[in-house]
Amino acid sequence: MKKKIVSIFGTRPEAIKMCPLVKGLEKDDEIESIVCVTAQHREMLDQVLEVFDVKPDYDMNIMKHNQSLSEITTNILVGIEEILKEVKPDMILVHGDTTTSFAGALAAFYNGISVGHVEAGLRTFDKLSPFPEEMNRTLTGRIADLHFSPTVSNVNNLLNEGIKKETIVLTGNTVIDALKLTIDPNFIFGDDFLDNVDFENEKVITVTAHRRENLGEPMRNIFKAIKRLVEDLDVRVIYPVHLNPKVREIANEIFGDMDKVHLIEPLDYKQFANLESRSYLIMTDSGGLQEEAPALGKPVLVLRKETERPEAIEAGTVLLAGIEEENIYQMAYKLITDSEAYNQMSNAVNPYGDGTAVQKTIDAIKAYYLTK
Ligand code: UD1
Ligand code: UDP
């Protein structure tokens, strides 16, 4: 009998990191792979599904504009129960730290279904930052039966919380598997603006920002620092703006119609990953970019007070720039004007695995049933 595995995800980053796994599960003869999307994100999720050609079996379509955390949680919890009762999976897989992940894991737990947690064990140890992700991943970790951890420090975090060693598997991060499928030195964006940017001769800074705890003054400070950099130095900023209306309002307010700041719509994953690989510098509060950029040898300034990805800082390709305007400005200024500091950071070191996380995860899922 094939094992029924339901992958549950709903936002852009989960989709990017789960689609390579879904593809792997689909190919495995011993597994029946079922995909359930909550669509906590709508357009940004659909962009990823299209790139990877993944067609969900269930689409809960829950997204509402300016949705609250309680709305997301309750809609998923109630909606997913019906699907779990119908499908009766052997295991569900959730990813990382979103509210989709936590609510999906909780629903499975309530219905007596095993939970596998992909990208398990990341921690900042500050329950308010990132909010609510630190709590989402900690609670998901308590519920999960199998933990797939990208790095040794993630494994150690789980061990320190009393999670049983035999339930933790060191896999690397599936984002490296995703990048392998995506980066192409001859990539054509298929976009008039991007195809005409002179990446060889211009210093292009790619910017993204969306964290809930940064909405408001911190995000204004971040954008003011970037604005000053563009005014003072010869750099171009490309910023695909997250669809969250609160983010878009602040981006428009600070950058207005600056010539060298290009506020564009979210790119599809192939376009964005290839933009990263051609950029000079990445400035972001995103989690995923802190993993992708080191794999591409691109320095990252993290626009947050802390990170759950200390490996990239240790590897030297990521620097924590904080959320104060002056500090961000100074750190970026140095990387743009001091080639020695830049070269030190751009030496490609990738602490997130060798692109075999998908296979390791599938092998671990199958081994789990042999030992049961
Ligand atoms: C969510 C995750 C966060 C993840 C981020 C990735 C939670 C609590 N947060 O945050 O962990 O890092 O996704 O981007 O799970 N919107 C659209 N279309 C889309 C996507 C979003 O219009 O395709 C708008 C909607 O108005 C929505 C708002 O953005 O209400 C915020 O989306 P939401 O998923 O609640 O939070 P994110 O900040 O995107
Ligand atoms: N990304 C994308 N298009 C964009 C911006 C980002 O495909 O316009 C990808 C990026 O390559 C990374 C992921 O989205 O893999 C990061 O998602 P996000 O910043 O929304 O969330 P986080 O990683 O912070 O959870």
pLDDT digits (tens, 9 = 90+) for 154-179: 999 999 999 999 999 999 999 999 99
CA distance 366 to 371: 9
Interval between CA 70 and ligand 2 midpoint (Å): 23
Q: Which atom belonging to ligand 1 lies closest to the Cα atom of 130?
A: 11
Q: What is the DSSP string of 37-61?
A: E--SSSHHHHHHHHHHT---SEE--
Please, which residues bridge with residue 33 across strands?
Answer: 5
Tell me, what's the pLDDT at 112?
97
* CB of residue 40 inside a 6 A radius of ligand 1: yes
CA distance 216 to 243: 16
Tell me, what's the pLDDT at 370?
79
CA distance 222 to 302: 10
Q: Which atom belonging to ligand 2 lies closest to the Cα atom of 14?
A: 25
Q: Which atom belonging to ligand 1 lies closest to the Cα atom of 10?
A: 34
Could you tell me which residue, 18 or 317, shows the higher pLDDT?
18
For 189-210, what is the mean pLDDT?
98
**What's the mean per-residue pLDDT of the chain?**
97
Residue 372, pLDDT above cutoff 70: no
Interval between CA 287 and ligand 2 midpoint (Å): 8
Tell me, what's the pLDDT at 188?
98
Q: Strand order in 281-284's β-sheet?
A: 261-264, 235-240, 203-208, 281-284, 300-302, 318-320
Residue 61, pLDDT above cutoff 90: yes
Tell me how crowded residue 257 is: count the other CB atoms within 10 A of its CB: 7
Tell me, what's the pLDDT at 310?
94
* CB of residue 12 inside a 6 A radius of ligand 1: yes
Tell me how crowded residue 370 is: count the other CB atoms within 10 A of its CB: 6
- The binding-site residues of ligand 2, defined as CB within 6 angstroms of any ligand atom, are 12-13, 16, 208, 210, 240, 266-267, 269, 272-273, 286-289, 292
Active site residues: 97, 119, 133, 210, 212, 242
Say which amino acid occupies 325: E
3-state DSSP call for residue 91? strand
What burial letters (b/e) apply to 332-353, b meaning 16+ CB within 10 Å? beebbeeeeebeebbeeebbbb
For 112-121, what is the mean pLDDT?
98
DSSP state of 279: -
Interval between CA 342 and ligand 1 midpoint (Å): 32
Atom 2 of ligand 2, nearest CA residue: 269
For 8-24, what is the mean pLDDT?
98
Interval between CA 110 and ligand 2 midpoint (Å): 31
Tell me, what's the pLDDT at 347?
82
Range with the poorest average pLDDT among 44-58, 68-82, 294-308, 346-360? 346-360
Residue 25, pLDDT above cutoff 70: yes
Atom 31 of ligand 1, nearest CA residue: 244
Output 154-162 pairs: Cβ under 8 A, ≥24 positions apart. 154/120, 154/121, 154/122, 155/121, 156/121, 157/121, 157/122, 157/123, 158/120, 158/121
pLDDT grade for 74, boundaries at 50, 70 and 90:
very high
Residue 190, pLDDT above cutoff 90: yes
Residue 371, pLDDT above cutoff 90: no
Residue 324, pLDDT above cutoff 90: yes
Write down how long the chain is.
Answer: 372
Could you check whether the bond before residue 132 is cis, i.e. omega within 30 degrees of 0? yes
Q: What percent of the chain shows pLDDT beyond 90?
A: 96
Interval between CA 105 and ligand 1 midpoint (Å): 19
Tell me, what's the pLDDT at 253?
97
Residue 60, pLDDT above cutoff 70: yes
pLDDT grade for 305, boundaries at 50, 70 and 90:
very high
pLDDT grade for 348, boundaries at 50, 70 and 90:
low
